[in-house]
Amino acid sequence: MARRVLSLWLPGLATDRLARRKPELRDRPLVTILGEHGRMIVAAVNGHAESAGIQPGMTLADARALEPAVHPADADPAADAQALDGLADWCGRYTPWVGLDAPDGIFLDISGCAHLFGGEPALLRDVVGRLKGFGYQAGAAVADSAGAAWAVARHGGERIAAVPPGRGRQALAGLPVEALRLPAETAAGLRRVGMRRVGDLYGMPRAAITARFGVVVTRRLDLALGVAPEPISPRRPVPPHVARAAFAEPISTPENLADATRRLLDDLCAGLERAGRGARRLELRFFRIDGRVERSTVGTSRPVRAPAHLARLFAEKLDRVAPGPGIEIMILSATAEPLGPEQIEMPVGDFRPASAISGELAELVDRLGSRLGLSRVRRLLPRESWWPENAVESAPALSGPSPGAKGAAPWPADRARPLRLLPRPEAIDVIAPVPDDPPLAFRWRDGMHKVVHAEGPERLEPEWWRQLDELRDYYRVEDADGQRFWVYRAGLYQPGRAARWYLHGFFP
């Protein structure tokens, strides 16, 4: 497939952006200005100001001398860059391979895409016409290389132009040397020696050009002619799996958005199945007719290609999409991982690795993760330790035993453990005989609890390598209201010293 690149040029980006916010400025001479060494310098002009003879680089005083009605506005390069980035985002409706050509251009690699829009001339008319509707004046050209497309778009003399495949050399020949994206001083030097057109360089010895002007001239010439490759760096990673839907009439109702999403998921998952892959992260883009792009993203805890499950994940986020005046294109893309055929079985309570978890359980985790965030959906796995704080570990919901573990340690079944532990044991005031009797009553958080039943003690000690020399005597106690607690006395009984008691957990 022959490579084809579209160069989009927005010569009035700065002033068009301002006129979009204030339409009354559209029919007035408008310039943006920057402060430089105490002077106000014109940075950009619109068509009316240019017709009056105002050019970038002039002082504001000179501009007003040419056109007293000129309207100055502060230049905002950051806002201009943001606007260009938004337009590049919108260009994703034509191809996923979109790169910035700052400060006023965009490159689109449309190889194999033009037929979807009726051919290259129709695609060019569509791009430029839609941008005009948004309030941006634009020029565009298509050629075999980014350099040739750039040159024709800016110096070809036509608003839109499609250079036939293999005809880049002829199209460039009559253009000025500035079309090679040369530094201003280099272009001026070429003109001084009589080389005013790109075609004038074709027959010149390369060694002589390089000796006089450096390698920049021959390098730029090779890029424009396609002799040397010039890759386009996409703004976003190009997804390997994409499904696209275009609508004859813009849609905006939640029902239409949900129906279109399901159809896109059916197409995408069919492609994933043929490729033996499963989606891990999916992005759904909504291209509005006013040029704005809305996005909705979901992630999965493991590779998935079940359209119904993925549709449920998106259903919880579609109500956040603002369709505005209507959506004309929806594009669904996904990053994926290998997912082969699998035997589904019901878990029976053992701690299995994620690959052995049933699809329904994984779908539940994904739905919870879509609402709460996957990192917040956790499970507790047992750890081989008698010390309560170390007896469990938090892990992702579908994870198995810790790496390197021989197997999942079972939950202790020969002794009762509380359903909930406090993050840290909290000190309590206890009335209790000594040395080994359970408490008769205790106060916790300003509440008094009379103990009517108690079991224990159960003595626990930490592992020797933790360097904790204090043991604990745990009791299971029940108060007069039926509440059950797990309390302990810290350390051995010492005559004449008050015992220290703590509340650590709660039983159901």
Coil vs helix vs strand at 492 = coil
Contact present, 406 and 426 (Cβ < 8 Å): no
Q: Is residue 320 part of a domain?
A: yes
d(CA 8, CA 160): 9
Verify that 175 and 263 share a domain, yes or no: no
Verify that 319 and 210 share a domain, yes or no: no
- CA dihedral sign of residues 30, 32, 36, 40: positive
Per-residue pLDDT reduced to its tens digit, 55-82: 999 999 999 999 999 999 999 999 999 9
User: What pLDDT, on the 0 to 100 scale, is given for residue 280?
Assistant: 94
Percentage of the chain exceeding pLDDT 90: 72
- Token pair of 270, please? 């069919």
Tell me: cis bond preceding 231? Omega within 30 of 0 counts.
Answer: no
Q: Is residue 197 part of a domain?
A: yes
Residue 345 pLDDT level (bands cut at 50, 70, 90): very low
Which domain CATH number covers 332? 3.30.1490.100
**pLDDT value at 376 more than 60:** yes
155 CB-near residues (< 8 Å, 6+ apart): 175, 176, 178, 179
Domain that residue 305 falls in: 241-338
Contact present, 163 and 226 (Cβ < 8 Å): no
- Token pair of 465, please? 């390598």
Q: What is the mean pLDDT of residues 265-270?
A: 95
User: What pLDDT, on the 0 to 100 scale, is given for residue 403?
Assistant: 47
d(CA 315, CA 323): 15
Give the pairing of strands 500-507 and 484-490: antiparallel
Contact present, 140 and 217 (Cβ < 8 Å): no
Verify that 142 and 181 share a domain, yes or no: yes
End position of a domain, from candidates 311, 338, 365: 338
Chain position carrying tokens 């002039």: 58
User: What pLDDT, on the 0 to 100 scale, is given for residue 381?
Assistant: 77
- CA dihedral sign of residues 116, 122, 127, 130: negative
pLDDT greater at residue 420 or residue 287: 287
d(CA 235, CA 88): 8
Q: How far is CA 454 from CA 273, 450, 458, 479, in A?
A: 60, 11, 12, 9
- Token pair of 274, please? 């043929």
The highest-confidence range among 144-153, 370-379, 495-504, by mean pLDDT, is: 144-153
Residue 347 pLDDT level (bands cut at 50, 70, 90): very low
**pLDDT value at 481 more than 80:** yes
Mean residue pLDDT of the chain comes to: 89
User: What pLDDT, on the 0 to 100 scale, is given for residue 235?
Assistant: 84
User: What pLDDT, on the 0 to 100 scale, is given for residue 201?
Assistant: 95
Q: Is residue 424 part of a domain?
A: yes
Strand order of the β-sheet with 293-304 is 241-251, 327-338, 277-288, 293-304
Q: What is the mean pLDDT of residues 281-302?
A: 95
d(CA 197, CA 205): 16
Verify that 124 and 185 share a domain, yes or no: yes
pLDDT greater at residue 146 or residue 415: 146
Number of domains into which the chain is organized: 3
Q: What is the dihedral of CA 275, 277, 279, 285, to 10 degrees?
A: -10
User: What pLDDT, on the 0 to 100 scale, is given for residue 349?
Assistant: 44
Contact present, 380 and 399 (Cβ < 8 Å): no
Which domain CATH number covers 118? 3.30.70.270
End position of a domain, from candidates 272, 304, 338: 338
Verify that 172 and 218 share a domain, yes or no: yes
Among 12-16, 384-388, 400-404, 441-445, the range scoring the smallest mean pLDDT is: 400-404
User: What pLDDT, on the 0 to 100 scale, is given for residue 495?
Assistant: 78
- Token pair of 362, please? 């994984």
User: What pLDDT, on the 0 to 100 scale, is given for residue 254?
Assistant: 93
Tell me: cis bond preceding 457? Omega within 30 of 0 counts.
Answer: yes
Q: Is residue 83 part of a domain?
A: yes
Verify that 432 and 447 share a domain, yes or no: yes
d(CA 283, CA 475): 53
Per-residue pLDDT reduced to its tens digit, 202-259: 999 999 999 999 999 999 999 999 999 999 988 888 888 999 999 999 999 999 999 9
User: What pLDDT, on the 0 to 100 scale, is given for residue 492?
Assistant: 81
Coil vs helix vs strand at 268 = helix
Contact present, 486 and 418 (Cβ < 8 Å): yes
Verify that 189 and 258 share a domain, yes or no: no
Question: Phi and psi dihedrals of 416, rounded to 5?
Answer: -75, 140
Verify that 79 and 225 share a domain, yes or no: yes
Closest CA to 453 of 439, 436, 464: 439
Per-residue pLDDT reduced to its tens digit, 92-103: 999 999 999 999
103 CB-near residues (< 8 Å, 6+ apart): 13, 77, 80, 81, 84
Percentage of the chain exceeding pLDDT 70: 92
Verify that 247 and 226 share a domain, yes or no: no
What single string gives the DSSP state of each residue in 391-411?
SEEEEETT--SPTT-SSPPPP
Neighbour count for residue 26 (Cβ, 10 Å) = 16
d(CA 49, CA 67): 8
d(CA 467, CA 286): 59
Q: What is the mean pLDDT of residues 153-173?
A: 95
Verify that 225 and 300 share a domain, yes or no: no
Verify that 482 and 434 share a domain, yes or no: yes
Verify that 100 and 176 share a domain, yes or no: yes
End position of a domain, from candidates 216, 238, 260: 238
Give the pairing of strands 378-382 and 327-338: unpaired
